[in-house]
Chain A
Amino acid sequence: MISLSASDSPAPAPADAPALPTTISVQDLAITYRTNLQKAPTLKSTLVRLGRRERIVREVQALKGISFDVPEGTVMGIVGANGAGKSTLMRSVAGILAPTSGRVEVHGKVSTLLSLGVGFNGALSGRQNVVLGGLAAGLSRKDIAQKYDEITAFAELEDYMDMPMRTYSSGMFGRLAFAVAVHMDPDILLIDEALSAGDAHFKEKARAKMDELAAKARTMLIVSHGLGTIRDMCNEALWLHKGELMMRGAPQEVIDSYTRFLKVGETSATMEDF
């Protein structure tokens, strides 16, 4: 059903299951943003525009009808240039953005680690953010209390949890975001450009945790510009370009085509996570 990369994939799907159940099914998904060209729509500018009978709503087709299925246990890498629709795809799988047309079907509990952090508020302390984020995601206070120590220990932020998050370094911010996402017991983990969080030591730890989750046959979608991450971690990859699905296949093949397309080789700039 799918082509797995043969050699060093850390997360092979269980070999004894001939046809794995589909976890994520994306069917002809299109998402169009109707964005105002102004940053913040105000009443005055709207009145002025109505008076002039002009419309400055521009449609941005972030995704133009893409379809794919993700079987259980797949670690799917998603590559593509800026503006390819990668983050939009992640948000629609998470149920944050509704499809303009098409359909997304998801079996399982989703945990998101999207590019803006997990919705942390800089004015609040790390502790408050973890509790609020957990409650918003539907966990009970008891669940959160159980996981809290694990999360802070994993992020190595025990001494900082009562400080406002605006005082955190970006690495600390990212570490906490990552720790929260992986401790939510997700069936499906969506990770958008977050592996670069933290220093080399934390990256190692994050990788180990991801491998552990992948080994438990959890499904993951990983968006990264670090092609090395995609190659090492994923057993399948998608390449998106300007809202269209260009290619799906083994990570190495997809990366080869993608880098050929970009006319860049596998340099350290494309392979490392930054």
Chain B
Amino acid sequence: MNPVVSPEDDYLGEHHVYEPHRVGLPRFGPYFRELWRRRAFATELAHTKMDAANTETVLGQLWLVLNPMLLASVYYLLVSVISAGRHDGMDYLAHITAGLFAFYFVSTSMTTGAQAVLSSGRLIMNTPFPKMLLTLSTTYTALRRFLPTMVVYLAIHLAADRPLGMVLLLLLPIFLLMALFALGLANVLATLQVYFRDTSSFLPYFVRIWLYVSPVLLTADQIRDKFRGLHVLNPLYSLLGAWTDVLDEGKVPSLDLWLQAVGWSLGVFVLGSLLFMSRERDFAVRL
């Protein structure tokens, strides 16, 4: 009937067998094939929601750039007032914006990801599909909101006369690690939210604290001195530390930092995704 369907397709194909499996992992092959085949759904859902979010404001999509600029000004003022002028100037503004924008990518992915499953309840009750499309979509939304902030950052980076050069290419693998980490977290939170509806109410406070203990307002060195060893427990120490090392000083992050970043990123991504996949067939009866 349908040319796009492959015979071994678990969701749409010619033959399906449904057996008890409320908890446990689906077969990876068909699952990821289907996930990839339906990726257009994830991006379409993200675009649709982003369009809807800004249609009723006067400034519309301009908010995607205005938001990070206002945010950066708020934190810049906050820190320069509290530190009584010890932290100010273009250099500090550049440091804050670099960290803050990357942090907001992760935290947007977390907060929207937490709602990913619940907000699509009707779809889940009516169409069988790999549910990880929903968290992929929210993390993709976070990415789409992050990209305009990088344009703002670039202007600040140039104005602050910060290092340019090949070393900036390292931002790509670092960002990839951040994205895997963010997706893994979104998977964990979306699953938790199905079972504990309080999760998303706690999140804003958790995110705020996480911002303060990560190398965003302070530099990675300051964080390391302050937390004396405990900083390695914070995944964003290595991920944002590596990010700001490249942007602030144009230096290649240390091997130690790379190893921590890769460990946290892959660990959270793999475990979070396995948690999500093992529970996703239970979602339909929990909504």
Contact = CB atoms under 8 A, between A and B. Distances in A.
Interface of A: 33-35, 40-44, 46, 91-92, 94-110, 112, 114, 116-121, 123-124, 128, 131-133, 135-141, 143, 185-187
A11 B179 CA distance: 53
Contacts of A136: 38, 41, 123, 127, 129, 133
A140 B128 contact: no
Return the 9 tightest CB-CB contacts between A and B, nearest first: A119-B123, A135-B41, A95-B128, A43-B198, A119-B126, A119-B122, A104-B18, A138-B12, A40-B197
Contacts of A116: 122, 125-126
Given A103-B17, A114-B125, A119-B125, 11 more contacts: A95-B11, A95-B16, A95-B18, A96-B126, A98-B19, A98-B22, A104-B17, A117-B126, A136-B123, A138-B9, A187-B1
The residue among B4, B14, B22, B285 with the most chain A CB atoms within 10 A of its own CB is B285
Nearest to B3: A143
B45 interface: yes
B122 A121 contact: yes
A138 B124 contact: no
Given A94-B128, A96-B128, A138 B11 contact: yes
Contacts of B281: 98
Nearest to B12: A138
B125 A91 contact: yes
A268 B186 CA distance: 52
12 contacts: A94-B128, A100-B22, A105-B16, A109-B1, A116-B126, A117-B126, A119-B126, A121-B123, A132-B123, A133-B123, A135-B40, A136-B41
B126 A42 contact: no
A33 B287 CA distance: 12
Interface string B30-47: 000010011011001100
Contacts of B198: 42-44
A132 B285 contact: no
B128 A139 contact: no
Contacts of A43: 196, 198-199
B57 interface: no
A95 to B, nearest CB: 4
B41 A99 contact: no
B2 A185 contact: yes
B226 interface: no
Contacts of B120: 119
Nearest to A88: B285
Nearest to A181: B126
B127 A139 contact: no
Contact of A42 (B11, B13, B21, B196): B196
B126 A132 contact: no
B212 interface: no
Nearest to B129: A136
Interface string B121-159: 011111111000100000000000000000000000000
A138 to B, nearest CB: 4
A138 B5 CA distance: 8
B52 A140 contact: no
B249 to A, nearest CB: 43
